Structure 1
Amino acid sequence: MIEADPQATQKKSATRIQIRSLNKYYTMGRTVVPALRGVNLEIKHGEFVAIMGPSGSGKSTFMNILGCLDRPTRGEYILDGVSVGQMSNTELADVRNQKIGFIFQSFNLLRWMSAQANVELPLVYASISKEERQARAKRALSLVDLSSRANHRPMELSGGQQQRVAIARSLVTSPSLILADEPTGNLDSHTSLEIMRIMQELNARGMTIVLVTHEQDIADYCQRKVIFRDGRVVDDLANPQPLNAREQLSKHTATEQVQP
C-alpha cells in the first residue's frame, strides 16, 4: 500500500502547469493545419486530470507540448513557475529527464532487458552511480508491487505487469509531473483497474498526473475531465467524487470468483 502524503492537500493550492493562449500549427505543403487554437488551462499541484476528446481534437499535440517533446507555435507554457517555451533543446531535455515521467500505451520497454534494468534507464542518462540506480529502481518497483519480478524480461510479464514496470520507470527520477498516454488502452478491464489503483495511490501521495484517455469509465477515476475538440478546450469538468479503483477492483474480483 502506498501511503498518503500528509502535505498533499496544502500543495494543491499552488499551480503546477499554466497554459496561456497556446497555439500549434503544422505546415503540410502549402496547407497550414491548426492542431491547437488558443488553449488556456491551469493544473494545480496534486491534481489528477483526464484529457479527453475524439481523434484529431488536439489532445495528443497538447500532451507532447506538456512533455516538452514539441514546441507551441504561439503562446506560453509555464511549468512549476518557469516558462519552457524559449528553452534550448538541451534545457528541454533536462526538464524531461528531471521533472516529467512518461507512461505510454505500448509500454516502450526494451525486451532484452530485465524489469529492473528498464526502470534504471532514465537514471543512466543522469550520470547516477550504479548502486544508486539500483536502489532507486528497487524502490520504484516496490511502489507498483513488482519487487518479485525485478529480474524478469518484458516477455515474461503480463501486459499489466509490463505497464507497472513502465509506471515504475516514470517514477524513478522523482518527477513532479506524470504524463500518461492511454495507459490502459491495451489492457483488459481487470488489469485496467489495477493500473488506475496504482495511479490513484500515487496521486494520494501528492503526485500530479495528467492522463489522456478516450474511455469515459477510466476518466471517472480522475478528479477532473478536460475535453478537447477541434484544437480547443470545450469543457472543463470537476469530478468531486471520483470512483475508487481499489473498491471497484475488489468488486470486480468478487464477481469473477462467483462466475461459473
Structure 2
Amino acid sequence: MTTQPFSMQGKTGIVTGLANADSIAYGCARALHQAGAEMIVTYGHPKAESHVRPLVGEMGDPELMLCDVLDQSQVDALFQRADERWGKLDFLIHSMAFAPRDDLHGRVVDCSWDGFAQAMNISCHSFIRLARQAEPLMKEGGTLITLSYYGAEKVVDNYNLMGPVKAALESSVRYMAAELGPRGIRVHAISPGPIRTRAASGIQDFETLARDAETRSPLRRLTTVDDVGQCAVFLASGAGQSLTGSTLYVDAGHNIRA
C-alpha cells in the first residue's frame, strides 16, 4: 500500500489502443505516467506508428508495441513481453472500438451478421480476451479498465450498432468483476462524454452530440482525454481499492439530463 493513495509508483501495466494525440489511450497513458506508473503502450495498425511515436516523451518513454487484437500472435507477444519485463501487471486499459461504417450508419435492425460480429469481437470480446491473459500476471491483484459510452444505457441518435455492443461490454464488466474479485482484480468501465477523437468521427452527425454536451451538460463543456486519464489513475490506484464492477461517467454531468 502506497502512502499516497493516488500514487502509481511501482505499478506496471498495459495501455492499448493508442492512435494519435486525440486518443483516450494517450490521455490515460500520460496520466498514469505522471502518477508514477511504468507501462507498455500498444497501437493497432502499422500505419499508426508515425502518429504515436512522437508522443512517447509525454508518456514517459513507454515501450511501444504493435498489437492488433485480431492477431493472437501479437496479443501473446504483448503479454510475454510484460512477463519478461516485470513478471507482473497491475493494470490494463482497453481503449478500442470498431464497427463497419455501413453497419454503424444504418439501423440496428438492418445490421449485418458479419458487421455485428466484428463490432462485438473488437469492441467487447477483445476486452475479455485481454483480461484472461492479464489475470495470471495480476498476482497481487490489479485493475482492468475499458471505455464505454452513455449509448449503452439509453438510445442516442446515430450511435446505432455500438449501443448494443457497449451494453454487452458494460455487462461483461460486471460479470468479470464478480469472477475476478476474489483474486483482488477490479474491473471497471469509464463512460466519457463526447470527445473529438478519430473514432468518434465515424459516428454520423457526431458534432450534434458534441454541441448538445457542450450546451446541456451541467458543467457546459466537453470531456477531455485528460479527464478520462485522471479517472483511470483513481481507479487503478489505492484510492479505488474498494471499487469494482462500476461504470463511471466522466461526462461533465451530461448523463443526468433527460
Asked if TM exceeds 0.5, the reply is: no
TM-score (norm 1): 0.33
- Where relative contact order (Cα < 8 A, 6+ residues apart) is larger, the structure is 1
More helix by share: 2
